[in-house]
Amino acid sequence: MTEEYVILVDSQGEFQGLQEKMAAHKEGALHLAFSVLLYRNTPSGREYLLQQRAMHKYHSGGLWTNTCCSHPRQHESIEQAGIRRLAEEMGITDVNALTDIGHFCYHATLDNQLFEHELDHVLVADASEISVVPNPEEVMDYRWWKEEDIKQALVSQPELFTAWFSQVFAFAIK
């Protein structure tokens, strides 16, 4: 397996260099990331495709989160990276465009003595007609959640979700 690098940025998103991914997560270095959240409109309201992270992921295993997330590679746009990771994590190859609806910066202490310190771009797309074939190395489960069910679960059981998900969801429902 080749080493993966993240793009280090300052709080304005300006390039600061590259760092090996695990080293950045151990140090809590600010780096560029993205979170994809696919949705569909149904007669009973909007639904979002969430995944439950595989238990053996390097952090946040077993927690529910947005459709997929990761880090862009050097010389790869945020949108290209999102489309790449949709295929790698969820086996979704029929989404050809994502819309960047904004970004936020957060810092979170995770399990396994790791930290997330990310400038996270939120990417969305209407995905009413997709097929999902999740990668078991990445995803334990997935399902469409009604918007109201997510709102209720974030209040009553926030421990079910990743550290960044509530902020990603807040962007999506603006």
Catalytic residues: 69, 118
Largest Cα span, the chain: 47
Q: Are strands 68-70 and 31-42 parallel, antiparallel or unpaired?
A: antiparallel
H or E segment at 149?
Answer: helix 147-156
118 is in an annotated binding site: yes
117 is in an annotated binding site: no
The rounded distance, in Å, linking the Cα atoms of 160 and 174 is: 22
DSSP output for 15-67 = EEEEEEHHHHHHHT--EEEEEEEEEEEETTEEEEEEEEEPTTSSSSTT-EESS
Rg (CA), the chain: 15
Name the token pair of 121: 């771009």
Phi, psi of 103 (to 5 degrees): -145, 160
129 is in an annotated binding site: no
116 is in an annotated binding site: yes
121 is in an annotated binding site: no
31 is in an annotated binding site: yes
Residues making up the annotated binding site for Mg(2+) are 89
Residues making up the annotated binding site for Mn(2+) are 25, 31, 71, 116, 118
Residues making up the annotated binding site are 25, 31, 71, 89, 116, 118
